[in-house]
Amino acid sequence: MSRRSPAGRLVMARHGQTDYNREGRLQGQIDIALNEIGRAQAAALARAMVADPPDVIVASPLGRALDTARAVGEACDVEVTTSEVLLERGFGRWEGMTGAEMREGWPEEYADLRAHRPVHGLGVEDRPAVAARVAACCRELLDEHPGQTVMVVGHGASTTLGITALLGLPADGFLGLGGLENCHRSLLEPLAADPEGRLMRLVSHNLAPDFAGTPAGM
């Protein structure tokens, strides 16, 4: 990721592992801390970013994302700020539950979730709304820091949806973009061919740092 774009670059990363990740529980906007593996993953991401450090780091204020971003910031000597716009997708009443619990209690609504259809009556944030807010935040950051590398540290669902919107793809219909794994990152650059200057191109996706030496169980 050493080649610099004169129009700026956007690195979008997911936080490290939490106990809820390990247990298969839906986190949403619950503030869950990194576990031992997650902290080691954050350190690995930090080491990976040192070779070509970002100029700006902005994180979701939830602890798992903020602590991951701070690990990178300390390694790269970059101050970390936060934005609530980068929060994970809200999953309402389902937050903290496993897939089995959700399916048992709300089989029809769970089927809608799995099929990427709107889920009604449970406080689940719509996919297009999440995509729009994350993409808008990223565009604003790039506008505020022209020619620089902006790193955003967020969450699995919201970050993937934001990438989808930045590519100009429908958040409620396109299923071809795989989700980010813990402490993996994607690199995007502005699409020069877009006359409105809103679209980006995906240079790399779900790129892993070197996790050698991290605790077992990743």
As a whole number of angstroms, the distance between CA 218 and CA 215 comes to 7
Q: How far apart are CA 165 and CA 139, in angstroms?
A: 11
- The H or E element spanning position 48 is helix 36-50
Q: What is d(CA 102, CA 190) in angstroms, rounded to the nearest whole number?
A: 39
The kind and range of the H/E element at 21 are helix 19-23
88 flagged as catalytic: yes
Distance CA 29, CA 96 (A): 10
Q: What is the largest CA-CA distance in the chain?
A: 51
Determine which one of 36, 74, 88, 108 is catalytic: 88
The one catalytic residue among 15, 95, 125, 155: 15
> Is 184 part of the annotated catalytic residue set?
no
**Residue 210: phi, psi to the nearest 5?**
-85, 110
Q: How far apart are CA 185 and CA 57, in angstroms?
A: 13
Active site residues: 15, 88
